[in-house]
Amino acid sequence: MKILPRSVLVGISVTLLAACGTPVERENARTSEQAGTSKLSKEISKVEEAPEQTEASNVSEDDSKRDPVEISNIEPEPEFEVPPTSVLNGKTPEEIQAVFGKPVLLRKEEPAQIWQYLTTECALHIVFYATGDEEPVVTHVAMNDRVSANKVKQPKDCFKSQLQRVGFDRVKALS
């Protein structure tokens, strides 16, 4: 819903009220309405005369002085060899959290823990299992499709999406 300027609303109100009054009141209302209309015309012309602000005018002075070559030289993250998921086996919860961060879902069923990590492509489930007094370690890794909840057809692609989510620097910690 568009809100009308006050001068337009006053003009409409005066016109409606004038229709109910005597001929003298109607003439005074018409004069008042014309005054409101001329004020509105002046405001519209001010807006039309104002310089148009474009996106380019929103660019800071520093950005406009930057060398386009400098901007294009921003290096993308390096490609990396996607390791097999077995690289996670034997890792502790601290080691996994250092790489993947906090899990989206953490389920504890002593002596096991299941951590879940999500990307748009898939869900990664990391199962920790503790034997005796030892700290739990990764014993199983599973991945499923986010849409159908079936096992992923390309586990390497799923694992790669998980590693890309965390970034190249953290992936190095897996080796």
The tens digit of pLDDT for each residue in 16-30 reads 444 445 555 555 555
Mind listing the pLDDT tens digit for each residue in 83-134?
Answer: 899 999 999 999 999 999 999 999 999 899 999 999 998 999 999 999 888 8
Instruction: Compute the CA torsion angle 36, 40, 42, 44 (nearest 10 deg).
Output: -170
Strands in 105-109's sheet, in edge-to-edge order, are 105-109, 112-118, 122-129, 137-145
Beta bridge partners of 116: 105, 125
User: Where are the chain's structural domains?
Assistant: 6-52, 85-174
Amino acid at 145: D
CATH of 85-174, one of 3.30.1450, 1.10.730, 3.30.70, 1.10.1060: 3.30.1450
The Cα 120–Cα 131 span in angstroms is 34
Q: Cα separation of 102 and 99, whole Å?
A: 9
The tens digit of pLDDT for each residue in 75-85 reads 555 576 888 99
Q: What pLDDT, on a 0 to 100 scale, did the predictor assign at position 15?
A: 46
- Residues with Cβ within 8 Å of residue 43, at least 6 apart in sequence: 5, 7
Q: Quick: pLDDT tens for 62-74.
A: 555 555 555 555 5
Burial profile 33-54: b = 16 or more Cβ within 10 angstroms, e = fewer: beebeebbeeeeeeeeeeeeee
